[in-house]
Amino acid sequence: MLERIRSGLLYTETDAAFRDPLRRAELVFAYNAISPAEPERRRQVLERIFGSLGERAVLLSPFHAAFGSNVHIGDDFFGNVNLTFIDDVDIRIGDGVMIAPQVTLATTGHPVHPALREDFRRFSEPIVIEDRVWIGSNVVVLPGVRIGYGSVIGAGSVVSRDIPPMSVAVGVPCRVVRAITDDDLRPRMSEV
């Protein structure tokens, strides 16, 4: 069954029940209740939730996860409030990634035809977010997407296709609008 799930084939809630021990719902709940004044304790709980967690990772409360154990986060990560991981399969986040508020990373979807949605039938495909990516507020990343190195995803986007490295992409559906170039090294506002 695990191979079926990892292959992106349809599976049901009943099929997936054997994976319930991998869910970290109680730990996620506990993390969201820990004061920000206790960073060491917060880190210890995150290490128990996620499959792997890099150095200097910051995740603001609250956050949500279907499992938690399928999330792998690199070094120097920043996740803002209300980050949701629908991690029925792996979500791999590289180093130096910044994620704004209200973002959903969803590895799982459901068939369009209602006859195929019996017993919550679904499919899952991994998400990969490469190093140095910035994802804006209210973005949804759908199953099977890879966001390339250094890219920026504009606020409110729905990412349903891979985004190449060093790109600015926005919209519903999310599309590349331009490359990131050396011109982007200039300060945003002129100094006074």
Where do the structural domains in the chain lie, given as residue ranges? 2-178
DSSP state of 163: B
pLDDT value for 154:
98
pLDDT value for 192:
42
As a whole number of angstroms, the distance between CA 39 and CA 154 comes to 30
Cβ neighbourhood burial of 70 (10 Å; 0-12, 13-18, 19+): buried
Catalytic residue among 64, 72, 110, 113: 110
What is the dotted CATH code of the domain comprising 2-178? Answer: 2.160.10.10
pLDDT value for 188:
72
Q: Centre a 10 Å sphere on the Cβ of residue 114 and count the other Cβ atoms it contains.
A: 8
Q: Centre a 10 Å sphere on the Cβ of residue 192 and count the other Cβ atoms it contains.
A: 3
Low-confidence ranges of the chain (pLDDT < 50): 192
Per-residue pLDDT of 20-56, as tens digits, reads 777 899 999 999 999 999 999 999 999 999 999 999 9
* 10 dihedral zone (left: phi>0; alpha: psi -120 to 50; beta): beta
pLDDT value for 34:
97
Per-residue pLDDT of 138-156, as tens digits, reads 999 999 999 999 999 999 9
As a whole number of angstroms, the distance between CA 83 and CA 67 comes to 14
pLDDT value for 67:
93
Q: Say whether 110 is catalytic.
A: yes
